Amino acid sequence: MPTSYPPGVRPFLGLVLILGCLPAFIVLLIIRFENSEIFVFGQNLGPYSTGQLLAGVLSPSAPILLLIPLAIIWISPKDFKYFFAMPILSPLAFLGPTLVTATFVGASGLAQPIQALLLISIFLTCFCLWLRVLDPFFPKPLLLLLYGALWASSSFLDYVVRYVVPHQDSIAVKGVGMLTWALPQLGTLLSTTDELLLGGGWAWKSILPTLIQMPLLLGVLFLLARKSKSSEHQDSA
């Protein structure tokens, strides 16, 4: 039997793939790699890695990735296998064409880009869980505004944690930095993936809050689903 997809899933992933093909097409037209050096329009610009190339693609396109969780909630796939598959398939559809094209034009060393794809998938899954928890309590337009506020707040907190906290002994400043554990790490996605792609390793200060939030959010979703089912049983009784 043919597989039945929720409405909107295929068009959404198709749109993400088309957007991902745009930077891949540019790479194919103007870039070549030889002996780990990059040539743009035939001009040798020196040593360059696939990770640096992907970081360059992510720099202007990170907002597109951060809008993906909103799109997933808007589509609202009820089947959890689609809900969890889409944050994984979306970055693959968006960044995969660039990685394939970079390999075709001579780039090597895909370890860091693959790790970055895994990291982005983890972050997007966590953001989707946040939105899934908040969705029953807010209408969609208000949820969009709340998402923007969380995005701005986490960007500010990322700045505080990276550039202020290490140079301040104030308890108040350190307390503000601790708020990162209670908010989705929307504003840290680009800086965290950049650090990984440019050879700085895994930024655990940003990654650990996300890893801890995910099981907690799953627990909240389970409780909300259980409460909803008990309410339905009471209404039908």
Token digits of residue 188: 């840290």
- Tens-digit pLDDT profile for the chain (237 aa)? 445 566 677 888 899 999 999 999 999 999 999 888 899 998 998 888 889 999 999 988 888 888 889 888 887 656 677 778 888 899 999 999 999 999 999 888 888 999 999 999 999 999 999 999 998 888 888 999 999 999 998 888 888 888 887 777 777 777 777 888 888 988 899 889 999 998 888 888 889 999 999 999 999 988 988 887 776 666 665
- What pTM did the predictor assign? 0.90
Q: Which amino acid is at 131?
A: L
Phi, psi of 46 (to 5 degrees): 95, -170
For residue 19, what are the CA distances in angstroms to 12, 51, 135, 184? 11, 20, 27, 25
DSSP state of 110: -
